Structure 1
Amino acid sequence: MNTTTTQGVTVSVTTNYLPDYSSPSQEHYVFAYKIDIRNNSEYTVKLLRRHWHIYDANGVVREVEGDGVVGQQPVLEPGEAHQYVSGCNLKTGLGKMCGTYQMERLADGREFTVDIPEFTLIVPFRLN
């Protein structure tokens, strides 16, 4: 599990390779990632946007930006957490992702950026 904390908001990531949805012979590798966002600050915060950088082993870099996460803009009170699962496809069996969330502190409307820790996407047979 990869974890980082920014301004009291902790983001943890775990990943899984999905062989049933992948086709290595066609350079199609599918991964799922589970995100846990915990508000350890003293303020209520809202997740506004996400910005991802997705890298594969061929040197291809994609950027994905958008509102919220999987159609939601969760509001987290102090001590609360939000989890979600999403996915990514690559043309190689090895890659990585990293990014940021744009958050808002609801008490004063102040926006701030929360880092998403870099994590590796790798098919299990690549580890041998």
Structure 2
Amino acid sequence: MYRQTTHGIEVTARPEFLEDESAPEKSRWFWAYTIIIANHSERTVQLESRFWRITNAAGKVEEISGPGVIGEQPILTPGDSFQYTSGCPLDTESGTMFGHYIMRLADGNSLVVKIPPFSLDLPSKKRTLN
């Protein structure tokens, strides 16, 4: 697991290789990743948008951004948490991901909450991130 806390918001990432969804003979490897966002701050926040930077083993970078996560823009009061699972296909057998969320505060201001870097590695391979 990978964890990072920004402004009292803890983000935990847990990647998992999905062998059944992958087709190495077609240069397709697929990972699921579960994210837990826990609000340890004293403020209510709403996840407004996300940004991901995905790098494959060949150094090819893809950036993804958009509103919310999995079609939701959850509101987290102090002590709340939100969990979701999504997926990432790569055309190489490993890679890395990191990013951030934009969280809206009740007063209209926003916070950038970092998503920890995490590696997408085959279970039989050495991890590329510690």
Same fold (TM over 0.5): yes
Q: Deviations over 1:39-84 (max 9, x none)?
A: 0000110000000000000111000000000000000000000000
Match of 1:71 in 2: 71
Match of 2:39 in 1: 39
CA distance in 1, matches of 2:41, 2:50: 20
Match of 1:80 in 2: 80
Give the 5 Å matches for 1:1-128.
1-106=1-106, 108-127=107-126
CA drift of 1:103 comes to 0.5
CA drift of 1:26 comes to 1.0
Deviating 4+ runs (over 4 angstroms): none
2:24 partner amino acid: P
1:83 match: secondary structure:
strand
TM-score by length of structure 2 reads: 0.95
CA distance in 2, matches of 1:116, 1:10: 9
TM-score by length of structure 1 reads: 0.96
1:66 match: secondary structure:
strand
CA distance in 2, matches of 1:114, 1:14: 17
CA drift of 1:125 comes to 2.3
Identity rate, percent:
44
CA distance in 2, matches of 1:9, 1:64: 21
Which structure 1 segments of 5+ residues have no match? none
2:124 match: secondary structure:
helix
